[in-house]
Amino acid sequence: LFRSTNLLREILNTNEHIAMLGEVFTPNPAPAHWDNFVRLLPPGTLPPANHADARQLLDRYFDFVNYRIRNHWAGGAKSRSRAIGVDIKYNQLRRISPADQDLAAPPFLLQDLKSRGALLIHTIRENVVHCALSTLIADQRGFWHNYQGAVIDRTYYVDPKACLDYARTIVSDRHAFSNFARECSIVNCCYEDLLEDIGRAAAGGEIPHGGGPLLDIAEALGVPFRFRYDGRLQKAINVPYSRLLSNHEALVRALSDSEFSAFAATLV
């Protein structure tokens, strides 16, 4: 499994057949995260000298992840999971690279996952401007995941150039990933479509069977369609952009004069 949002990861984990870890290349005290795993390795292990050594290192890491999931998940809930995965960002694709890696070649990690027959779940947000704003404002707030239903009670300034540059980086990263992963097994999950799936949830949180990215993922993994959304994780940006942004009009003008003009009207 590959590149999910936090929201998708939480929903996937409501299925007893799927175990999905968070961003394993991001520093975290959880034992199964990469940085904590490599601290246990002998000095000189990194970087691996060649592809064979890198493959062996990944074998050890995936075995470690598998062990942690099956033996240390709360209540043993994932001891019989059929699909085990991790969440990886675009800029983390080269975290594991052999010393002889050609930087013009696809990242070693993608090559290795392809050789293993792994399924990549590629999550995107069609509105790249909203995506850029979410990150830029989260960085200002120091607040990325809203589990308490917190409502934003102040305005934020977002430099229009910084927003446009970040949106362009997102588009560029997606394009590079799509080229590198062209021959991999991929299921695409659009964030906006995922929200539609969530919108169908019953009062008890169960998401009824239906079309959408969750069905595509379940079918690709060969697991039953059993997913829930308990409502704990909510949107971090939950007020209109016109109230959120102190320079709302200037940002709308900058977008209107850019290649992202189609998204200007979404900043209401």
pTM for this prediction: 0.92
Planar angle of CA 12, 16, 18, nearest 5 degrees: 45
Place of tokens 């942004």: 245
pLDDT digits (tens, 9 = 90+) for 3-28: 447 899 999 999 999 999 999 999 99
pLDDT digits (tens, 9 = 90+) for 223-257: 999 999 988 888 889 999 999 999 999 999 999 99
pLDDT digits (tens, 9 = 90+) for 166-185: 999 999 999 999 999 999 99
Q: What is the rounded average pLDDT of the residues 64-91? A: 95
